[in-house]
A and B are shown apart, each in its own frame.
Chain A
């Protein structure tokens, strides 16, 4: 087990884990303010579809930006339904997931995609209109830092979205726990009527966090497509949004712990195939394939137990729409 081996496994772990990290960051904000965004998967896949189409038409950076906007728009739709209209967050979220899966498949259907691409950029050559792959985001190793043993490969030899996810998890942790804005968000999630009576605009805060969660989920999808494996197929994200949802619980609603959790899930996915080659997984591959889901179930059991929920600090009014008592 050489150092190169360790470096490489860690690098791949981070590459995989970033999908979960990006998606969970936004979700943490939404849930901290009391809104459960179960539309994560749908927003993620819309981000993947958007980055697919727009990176072919305009290149990487516009694609990432537009993906974030599309995700924010879906977050906005969720905020209207869940925050303003006070509808059941579970149902609305799942509806948005299905909407995202269907819409992404619709826009990327070959003939329709071809027409969209031609409208966006009429000078595209024929093969670009038909291809199901896009240019992968280039890796930009950070000078000096990328030469540090182990950490250099693990954290400083990646594409721009990985760096973005790391910087934002620290930044978002700081805002959430060390600033007034963060305190406001958390108070809205714990006790909205109290926050309201203190002059906090509960609806505004929840709208904002929901939109943020949409944007981050969509960025996760964009990363998964152009940053991890740029080949489109219908349903490309394959339920990873739900793994990110479980991760938020595992990280107990903290952006910093989300980093660890995300890389844990990423590591499991990376290791699955390596263990097989050492004769470990091949006899029981289903067990390894089940691992992420077993973890999901375990974490769900933990939070449904009221005492544990209190102990680990789930937002008290998570999933409960706020109505001002007149």
Chain B
């Protein structure tokens, strides 16, 4: 397994380089590159060979397990898996699902750094490899995946972060859609932010002004306002700085510093795939200024041991495992899943706040550990809301999430009235900022 992985890395690196053969000049470059890479990878691959115990293990398995056909699963990632961000998270989910399903009963492969226009070719190659389940993990892969689902009716397809599926009626029956949704957790982050802020100003470093990010910002600000207003009677002030990138730590750094210095924000939430904003908060803490931030997608505590308040973490594994089981047992059903708090956890009933599992890994989306600087009454409040959301009793986008007040946008228009709660379409299409945010939403 290890050896294979290293080989595939080697192949990838060299094939990227294959364009070098174009001219004499480039040919020399190619030879140099291949020599260096070949030499080093051979050297390094040698050191990471699987331990010999694996062989014994496999032998025992084949004797005890009845002959089940190995499930073949193919993944398509938009970015490199060596990265900290999005694709890395999916690859971690893949490994989690493989392990739970049984590494001897599933053979999963992945193709990384696939440009969105080239998804069709990547799917075809996985089909030719014999994959019966193909999972594509970027929004831009959606239409290509739906087309492939029509072309290969005997295979199963799962698309992440889109809206086309057999269940929704806009794709063939052998295609499902899935997503790990964070807005509830952002609301809980907001509660933590409102509970600790001293300046009454919170900031948000946003990736792109698309509904998903806007929804997360609004949820965060609503939560912050809830806690801050309950504490002080005043409204929270919130500022948003956009970086127009998903992965750009250096830009997130500049944006975070601007929020702290220009607007005196002391809690920073973000949508950017690296811990950059948390690192900035930690630097301020070291200099004696209290600035707080969060985890995003992974547990990022090591990047800001002091500044880390809590955060949102995703484990895609349970979603994938579910699809593995469907395909392996021939019980496919097309679905459109938004995994939220409570999904894929063994015991879905709410617990009393003192026994809450908030801050512990469970299900697909869960809360990062809570920093003890959050006052204990607010820790209890966060836990109470977390538990209520397991049963979907509490909805952040409702008047209960806003201290009984209707939720207004920046122009003062009421978006969510008393007695209402946000439904799928309101959440999915959200293109307005809540009133507490000072900057207009770029359009």
Contacts and interface: CB of A to CB of B under 8 A. Distances in A.
Interface in A217-239: 224, 228-231, 233-234, 236, 238
A313 B275 CA distance: 45
B33 A87 contact: no
The B interface is mostly helix, strand or loop, or mixed, namely: helix
A95 B439 CA distance: 43
Interface residue tally on A, bucketed by range = 35 or more
Given A106-B13, A231-B274, A285-B242, A133 B29 contact: no
Interface in A257-301: 269-270, 272-274, 276-279, 282-286, 289
A119 B443 CA distance: 51
Contact of B44 (A12, A87, A115): A115
Nearest to A286: B244
A251 interface: no
A132 B20 CA distance: 30
A255 interface: no
A238 to B, nearest CB: 7
B275 A231 contact: yes
A79 B356 CA distance: 64
Contacts of B276: 229, 231
Interface in A10-32: 12, 16
Interface stretch (A97-105, A207-215, A303-311): A97-105
A87 B29 CA distance: 11
A85 interface: yes
A231 B83 CA distance: 11
Interface residues of B, number: 61
Contact of A111 (B5, B36, B251): B5
B302 A112 contact: no
A317 interface: no
Interface in A140-183: none
A81 interface: yes
Interface stretch (B184-192, B256-264, B322-330): B256-264
Given A103-B36, A116-B44, A229-B279, A92 B82 contact: no
B241 A85 contact: no
B44 A131 contact: no
Contacts of A234: 80, 82-83
B257 A231 contact: no
B26 A95 contact: yes
A108 B82 contact: yes
A282 to B, nearest CB: 5
Contact of A277 (B28, B44, B263): B263
B243 to A, nearest CB: 8
A230 B253 CA distance: 11
Contact of A279 (B30, B33, B258, B440): B440
Contact of B32 (A77, A127, A269): A77
A95 B80 contact: no
Given A234-B83, A269-B254, A274-B258, A285 B36 contact: no
Contact of A231 (B23, B30, B241, B279): B279
Interface of B: 2, 5-6, 9, 13, 16-17, 19-20, 22-26, 28-30, 32-33, 36-37, 40-41, 44, 47-48, 80, 82-85, 239, 241-244, 247-251, 253-255, 257-259, 261-263, 274-276, 279, 283, 302-303, 439-440, 442-443
Interface of A: 5, 8, 12, 16, 77, 81, 85, 87-88, 91-92, 95-96, 98-99, 102-103, 105-112, 115-116, 119, 127, 131-133, 136, 224, 228-231, 233-234, 236, 238, 269-270, 272-274, 276-279, 282-286, 289
